[in-house]
């Protein structure tokens, strides 16, 4: 039996992972589940999957979960906070760790799993965005197996030659093309200034959490994926391109020096990359429906509009700058998106907050975890100050 820990079990990736695991109870068992504050959902998941450990990032939520589990007669033990998250990530009985905590909060638990030499299924792109060189050094040092869960990077992984770690030039890869749906505002003719959170979260193809949905709407999510691809595949940003593909059928492509392009096609269902990474190098049933090419009928492509969606341009600039610049960008974006979701910031001011932080916080070498976390803290303080000083009117 393969033991699995899910960091971020109550989010969309966590829920889909449990769905895939439930299809092979003969092969997989859940050893730990974690969540931030959703006590009720984690409680139900614990009753259903009976993990040995459940962790709530919020200590008060952990107390409520523990009371409910005791009353229900469950033997699942409960831990709390970052210490508990790292405990779950490093459990000896966990062979595989799904790293699906959203944002910078997932960095330390994911690093813990890497340092424990686990098979890490990486859905938390921020870990690589913030600490790419340090993170990949730890993967190599501890013999961890790192498999991408983002549909785009999983597609690239499937289209790469097995020996791609030797270097893209040596294996004949010219460039990586990451596809993007374009988000909910790709064709919106009017200004995006008055966009409300519920509109930004209404993704046309994917069912995702609120933060990543907003990132998709600003195209920052694609920018984060560019930086993630840089580290996953040791690719210079000049070898990575973004192409808008509204159908979300081709999840990414790899172009070879002979002109060949390999693409991975599938329905927009996160259970597909999850099942691929869980079973790799084998294959397993995911529960996703078959792709109906005749039903799709057409595949469209267009260049991204970096003037209308400047977050993509900002991310490429941060990727080229390197060092702590991506960590600063990520932190400021998290603060800005949170303020937007609380209606304290306009949608079109999200990139302004990020650029202000990048201008104010000097990029330094990302040589240590302490230095990266300090850059993260400085960027958050700068973003908070920008939002406060701007004194923007509350959106309707």
Report, in angstroms and rounded to the nearest whole number, the Rg of the chain calculated over CA atoms. 20
**Six-digit token string for 170:** 């040596």
**Six-digit token string for 382:** 């700068």
Which residue ranges form the domains of the chain, and what is each CATH number? 2-149 (3.40.50.720), 155-296 (no CATH), 322-390 (1.10.1740.10)
Report the percent of the chain where pLDDT is more than 90.
85
Q: Is 268:205 a contact under the CB 8 Å cutoff?
A: yes
Predicted TM-score of the model (pTM)? 0.92
**Six-digit token string for 145:** 């197996």
**Six-digit token string for 157:** 């992984």
Confidence band of 396 (pLDDT split at 50, 70, 90): very low
Question: 283-302, pLDDT tens digit by residue?
Answer: 999 999 999 999 999 999 99
Indicate the SS3 state at residue 306: coil
Scanning the chain, the segments in alpha helix (DSSP H) are 12-21, 39-49, 59-71, 81-89, 107-115, 126-142, 151-159, 197-200, 210-218, 220-232, 271-279, 293-296, 310-321, 325-341, 350-360, 369-390
C-alpha to C-alpha distance for 201 and 198, rounded to whole angstroms: 5
**Six-digit token string for 134:** 């340090």
pLDDT at 204: 72
**Which residue, chain included where needed, has tokens 């600003």?**
218
pLDDT score of 39 more than 60? yes
pLDDT at 191: 79
When mean pLDDT is compared across 29-38, 67-76, 100-109, 146-155, the lowest value belongs to 100-109
Q: How far is CA 168 from CA 223, 292, 365, in A?
A: 21, 33, 24
pLDDT at 274: 98
């Amino acid at each position: 039996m393969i033991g699995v820990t899910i960091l971020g079990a109550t989010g969309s990736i966590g829920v889909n992972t449990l769905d895939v695991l439930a299809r092979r109870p003969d092969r997989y068992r859940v050893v730990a589940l974690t969540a931030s504050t959703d006590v009720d959902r984690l409680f139900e998941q614990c009753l259903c999957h009976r993990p040995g450990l459940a962790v709530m990032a919020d200590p008060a939520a952990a107390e409520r979960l523990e009371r409910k589990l005791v009353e229900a007669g469950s033997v699942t033990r409960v831990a709390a906070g970052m210490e508990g998250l790292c405990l779950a990530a490093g459990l000896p009985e966990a062979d595989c760790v799904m790293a699906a905590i959203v944002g910078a909060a997932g960095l330390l638990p994911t690093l813990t799993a890497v340092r424990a030499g686990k098979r890490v299924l990486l859905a938390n792109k921020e870990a690589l965005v913030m600490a790419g060189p340090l993170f990949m050094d730890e993967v190599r040092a501890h013999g961890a197996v790192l498999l991408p869960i983002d549909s785009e990077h999983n597609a690239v992984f499937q289209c790469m030659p097995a020996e791609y770690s030797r270097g893209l030039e040596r294996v004949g890869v010219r460039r990586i093309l990451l596809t993007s749906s374009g988000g909910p505002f790709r064709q919106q003719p009017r200004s995006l200034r008055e966009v409300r959170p519920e509109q930004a979260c209404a993704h046309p193809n994917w069912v995702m959490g609120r933060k990543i949905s907003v990132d998709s709407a600003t195209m920052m999510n694609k920018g984060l994926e560019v930086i993630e691809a840089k580290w996953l595949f040791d690719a210079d940003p000049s070898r990575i391109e973004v192409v808008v593909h509204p159908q979300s059928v081709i999840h990414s492509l790899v172009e070879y020096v002979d002109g060949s392009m390999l693409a991975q096609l599938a329905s927009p269902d996160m259970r597909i990359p999850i099942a691929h990474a869980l079973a790799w190098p084998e294959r397993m049933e995911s529960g996703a429906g078959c792709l109906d090419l005749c039903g799709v009928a057409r595949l469209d492509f267009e260049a991204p509009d970096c003037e209308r969606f400047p977050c993509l341009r900002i991310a490429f600039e941060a990727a080229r700058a390197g060092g702590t610049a991506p960590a600063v960008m990520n932190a400021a974006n998290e603060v800005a998106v949170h303020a937007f979701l609380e209606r304290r910031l306009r949608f079109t001011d999200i990139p302004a907050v990020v650029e202000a932080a990048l201008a104010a916080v000097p990029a330094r070498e990302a040589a240590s975890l302490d230095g990266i976390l300090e850059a993260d803290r400085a960027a958050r303080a700068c973003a908070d100050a920008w939002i406060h000083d701007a004194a923007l009117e509350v959106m309707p």
